[in-house]
Amino acid sequence: MEMKAVVSSTGLMLLFAWLSPSQALYFHIGETEKKCFIEEIPDETMVIGRYRTQLWDKQAGSFLPSTPGLGMHVEIKDPDAKIILSRQYGSDGRFTFTSHTPGEHQICLHSNSTKMALFAGGKLRVHLDIQVGEHTNNYPEIAAKDKLTELQLRARQLLDQVEQIQKEQNYQRYREERFRMTSESTNQRVLWWSIAQTFILIITGIWQMRHLKSFFEAKKLV
């Protein structure tokens, strides 16, 4: 599963990394800045994102917990660029979505900084934790709710892991099929371009021979 940070309203940030099923990171955004991440996710897979924000304090010279009035807007698009989630959250929040189409999902975050005088000219640190697949399950809560024994809970975890592995394998087959189709299309285009080049060279050669023959006949050299 691959994650790439790609878009910023005030600057472009490129960040390429392999995404494990659960990964935590932090990044900085400015007052009007927007950060987007692209994640490749199999279909029918739950994704949970948790974040918390810290505001730069000039007097303390460090990042401190943000004020409650400062919030984050989260927007998520599927591989077809359809918005599947667009919502305003607080300074700390949790968002959840389930993928219905395999491929690259775009997750964008930006602050409501234009409404916060305290943020004017400052910068914000966002701690983001993304969990994918079976890692989104709270197994202690599931065990307490369903009254599962330790062995039953472990069996449940293994079943969830097997299901997620199967989804990953299906997604890899989907990617391989797309890559194969793209390769075949490219090879076909290269073949037709080679045929067109050969045809053009033959036509050019015939034209040059006819032109030279006409030239020699006009000069009575033939």
CATH number at residue 59: 2.60.120.380
Could you tell me the two tokens for 59? 């007097």
Q: What is the pLDDT of residues 26-36, one digit of tens each?
A: 888 877 788 89
DSSP state of 160: H
| Cβ-contact 62, 37 below 8 angstroms | no
| Cβ-contact 168, 41 below 8 angstroms | no
Mean pLDDT of 52-59: 82
| pLDDT number for residue 114 | 53
| pLDDT number for residue 22 | 52
Q: Where among 97, 114, 136 does a domain terminate? A: 136
Q: Where among 136, 171, 197 does a domain terminate? A: 136
Mean pLDDT of 147-155: 80
| Cβ-contact 99, 78 below 8 angstroms | yes
SS3 198: helix
User: How many domains, in total, are found in the chain?
Assistant: 2
DSSP state of 68: T
pLDDT value at 98 more than 80: yes
Residue type, 22: S
Based on the fold, state whether residues 37 and 123 are members of the same structural domain: yes
In this structure, is residue 64 part of a structural domain?
yes
Q: Where among 89, 116, 136 does a domain terminate? A: 136
Based on the fold, state whether residues 131 and 145 are members of the same structural domain: no
Question: What percentage of residues in the chain have a pLDDT greater than 70?
Answer: 82
Based on the fold, state whether residues 172 and 88 are members of the same structural domain: no
Based on the fold, state whether residues 152 and 115 are members of the same structural domain: no
Region of 20 (left: φ > 0; alpha: ψ -120 to 50; beta: rest) is: beta
Q: What is the pLDDT of residues 152-211, one digit of tens each?
A: 878 877 887 888 888 888 888 888 888 888 898 899 999 999 999 999 999 999 998 888
Q: What is the pLDDT of residues 111-145, one digit of tens each?
A: 876 555 455 556 788 899 888 876 667 777 777 77
Residue position matching structure tokens 């000039």: 58
| Cβ-contact 39, 17 below 8 angstroms | no
Residues in the chain: 222
CA distance 75 to 36: 9
Contacts with 4 (C-beta within 8 Å, 6 or more apart), sequence order? 14, 15, 16, 17, 37, 38
| pLDDT number for residue 8 | 44
Based on the fold, state whether residues 61 and 126 are members of the same structural domain: yes
| pLDDT number for residue 122 | 64
| Cβ-contact 16, 4 below 8 angstroms | yes
| pLDDT number for residue 86 | 92
CA distance 45 to 66: 32
Domain that residue 131 falls in: 25-136
Based on the fold, state whether residues 63 and 104 are members of the same structural domain: yes
Based on the fold, state whether residues 85 and 179 are members of the same structural domain: no
Query: Which of the pair, 68 or 103, is modelled with greater confidence?
Result: 103
Based on the fold, state whether residues 191 and 179 are members of the same structural domain: yes
Mean pLDDT of 39-62: 84
Based on the fold, state whether residues 152 and 114 are members of the same structural domain: no
Based on the fold, state whether residues 151 and 111 are members of the same structural domain: no
pTM of the predicted model over 0.85? no
CA distance 64 to 188: 58
Based on the fold, state whether residues 74 and 99 are members of the same structural domain: yes
Band of residue 75 on the pLDDT scale cut at 50, 70, 90: very high
C-alpha Rg value of the chain to the nearest Å: 29
pLDDT value at 107 more than 70: yes
| Cβ-contact 83, 77 below 8 angstroms | yes
Helix residue ranges per DSSP H, the chain = 139-146, 150-218
pLDDT value at 1 more than 60: no
DSSP state of 181: H
pLDDT value at 68 more than 60: yes
Query: Which of the pair, 62 or 82, is modelled with greater confidence?
Result: 82
